[in-house]
Structures are given as C-alpha cells and as structure tokens.
C-alpha cells in the first residue's frame, strides 16, 4: 500500500513553508502527499504581505474530497488563522475518523508576521489539542499558549511541555531552535516519558519553513507506520540535514528555505556527471 499523508495548512507563494514545504517533505520521505488549503498568503523570503483566508465551507469540501477517496494514513495541520477554520477542520477530522494527526500550532512566520489571530488561540487548544497525537510548538509558541516567557533551558522546556499536556495534548514535541547553545535540543514529552533529541546548532539565515518541514516529516513517518518516537527521530535527522544543506540553494534575499531535497539533488547531479 502507498503511504499517504495530507497537509491541512496555508499556502506559501514563495515555496519555502506551508503546504509547499509539506508536500516537498512528504515526497522526499517517500510518502504521497495531498493537501487542504486553509489560506493563501502573498509571501516570500522577506515576509508576508497579504493573507486571504479560504471560506470554512470550502475547507470542509476539500477535506471531504480528499478523505472520501484517499486512504489517508496521517495528517499534518499547520496554519489555521480563524476560529471558523479551526472548527471546520476539527469537524472534518471527526467526520472521517482521521488518525495520526500532527498539529503544528503556527502563530508567527519566520519573518515575524502573525499568522494566527489571537481570538483563535483558545479554540485551537480546545478543539485540536485533544485530536492530535502530538503538537509541535517552538519556544515562542509554547510560551504564547501558556502566557509566560519563553523557556530558558531544558528544564523549563519540559515544564512548559507538561503544562501543554495538561491543556489536552497527548504528546508535545517542544522545539529548541530558538534557544541558545551549541546544540539545538527538542524534547518529546508524553504522559509517562521524555525523549531528548539533539543536533549541532547550525548558524544560518536559511530557516524559512523549518517548523512546517519538521511537523510534516513526523507525519510522513507516522504514515509509514513508525511509532511516534521513531517518526520524531527520523524527522529531526531529516530537518537537520535540510538546514545544513540550505547554503547550497540561492533563494531570495531574506530568510531562505531549507533544502528539502538535499539527499536527492546530489544523487541526480552525480548521475548526470557520470
């Protein structure tokens, strides 16, 4: 059977984040990708200049079209800017008994532009935290949900993740990319376990789409039948490689994208030269 994952997220016209990053990630990891577009953004490496939200009834229509035909193995949820969007997605997940849902609570773009309306935060917590097998906030997002400063160090990261569990999340992958130190440390915190995932911190401006890419890589692993911990480990390794190879690309003049096909473009180049 072909592993299938669907991304429910916003579109990035610059191609580095959102559904574009998700579909690239699915493809790179051997998973067929489908999409439900929740918003259109006018966006590039320098920032977001406009957002056009897709009506909730059309989001529902997309969900019904995809799930009524495709045997979806995993779902990645990204940008949901409006209360009506969140409600439509939650209802669609229930209607089709969606499994292996990964929620990336996108609040702010890499450029600093806000992507989630403040009045939608409470509904996101109420409706989608309990429906996801894991949520993947970065440090600023976790702090925004909890109304506190961003975590400083792994002890505070774990404490905030446990507080997010108390809000209804089944598991929390709290990402340390915004932290300091020589390592970029993420913590996967469940009800009865904590898994530390570390990689060397890479100094680069090319961080556009890293959160989208990590969450969709986790969904890809789940779609292929991996346990959550293994899906997260493989996703971390993939994203680290994509960030490390991002300098091989020359894309835009702002925060460039990671290199989603870093493993495959090199093979293609070698084959062409032989």
Query: What mean pLDDT is predicted for residues 122-149?
Result: 94
Query: What mean pLDDT is predicted for residues 46-72?
Result: 96
Given a cut of 60, whether residue 139 has pLDDT beyond it is yes
- Kindly list the catalytic residues: 175, 207, 209-212
Residues with Cβ < 8 Å from 244, sequence gap 6 or more?
202, 262
The DSSP bridge partners found for residue 187 are 174, 196
* Kind and range of the H or E run holding 20: helix 18-28
More confident residue, 271 or 138: 138
| Integer angstrom CA distances of residue 8 from 12, 150, 189 | 13, 27, 24
CA–CA separation, 42 and 258 (whole Å):
19
* Kind and range of the H or E run holding 175: none
Average pLDDT over the chain, rounded to an integer: 92
Given a cut of 70, whether residue 111 has pLDDT beyond it is no
More confident residue, 61 or 177: 61
Apex 161 CA angle, 158 and 165, nearest 5:
135
- In this prediction, residue 158 has a pLDDT band, given cuts at 50, 70 and 90, of very high
Q: What pLDDT is stored for residue 107 in this prediction?
A: 77
pLDDT in tens, 257-267: 999 999 888 76
What φ, ψ does residue 144 adopt, rounded to 5°? -65, -40
Given a cut of 90, whether residue 121 has pLDDT beyond it is no
* Kind and range of the H or E run holding 159: helix 154-166
CA–CA separation, 41 and 21 (whole Å):
14
Q: What pLDDT is stored for residue 177 in this prediction?
A: 75
pLDDT in tens, 234-273: 999 999 999 999 999 999 999 999 999 998 887 655 555 5
User: β-strands 32-44, 101-103: how paired?
Assistant: unpaired
Show the beta-strand stretches assigned E in 79-216: 101-103, 134-135, 172-174, 183-189, 194-200
User: β-strands 183-189, 194-200: how paired?
Assistant: antiparallel
Given a cut of 90, whether residue 157 has pLDDT beyond it is yes
Q: Enter the tokens of residue 36.
A: 């439900």
Q: What pLDDT is stored for residue 191 in this prediction?
A: 92
Task: Please report the DSSP string for 65-99 in residue order.
Answer: HHHTTS---EEEE----SHHHHHHHHHHHHHTT--
User: β-strands 4-12, 47-53: how paired?
Assistant: unpaired
- In this prediction, residue 171 has a pLDDT band, given cuts at 50, 70 and 90, of very high
Query: What mean pLDDT is predicted for residues 170-194?
Result: 89
CB 21 within 8 A of CB 48: no
What φ, ψ does residue 36 adopt, rounded to 5°? -125, 115
Q: Enter the tokens of residue 95.
A: 């209607």
Report all structural domains of the chain as residue ranges with CATH numbers, in order of start: 4-273 (3.40.1190.20)
């Amino acid at each position: 059977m072909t592993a299938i994952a669907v991304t429910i997220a916003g579109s990035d016209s610059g191609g580095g984040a959102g559904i574009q990053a998700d579909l690239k990630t699915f493809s790179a990891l051997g998973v067929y990708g489908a999409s439900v577009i929740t918003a259109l953004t006018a966006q590039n490496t320098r920032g977001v200049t406009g957002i056009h939200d897709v009506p909730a009834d059309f989001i529902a229509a997309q969900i019904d079209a995809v799930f009524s035909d495709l045997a979806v193995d995993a779902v990645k949820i990204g940008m949901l800017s409006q209360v009506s969007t969140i409600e439509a997605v939650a209802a669609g997940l229930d209607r089709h008994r969606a499994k292996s849902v990964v929620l990336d609570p996108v609040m702010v773009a890499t450029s600093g532009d806000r992507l989630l309306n403040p009045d939608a935060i409470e509904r996101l917590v109420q409706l989608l935290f309990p429906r996801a097998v894991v949520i993947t906030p970065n440090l600023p997002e976790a702090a925004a949900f909890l109304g506190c400063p961003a975590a400083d160090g792994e002890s505070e990261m774990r404490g905030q993740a446990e507080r997010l569990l108390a809000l209804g999340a089944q598991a929390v992958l709290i990402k340390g990319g915004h932290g300091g130190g020589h390592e970029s440390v993420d913590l996967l915190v469940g009800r009865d376990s904590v898994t530390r995932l570390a990689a060397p911190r890479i100094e680069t401006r090319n961080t556009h789409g890293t959160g989208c890419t990590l969450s969709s890589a986790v969904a890809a692993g789940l779609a292929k039948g991996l346990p959550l911990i293994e899906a997260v480990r493989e996703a971390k390794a993939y994203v680290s490689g994509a960030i490390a190879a991002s300098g091989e690309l020359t894309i835009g003049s702002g925060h460039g994208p990671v290199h989603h096909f870093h493993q495959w473009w090199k093979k293609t180049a070698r084959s062409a030269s032989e």
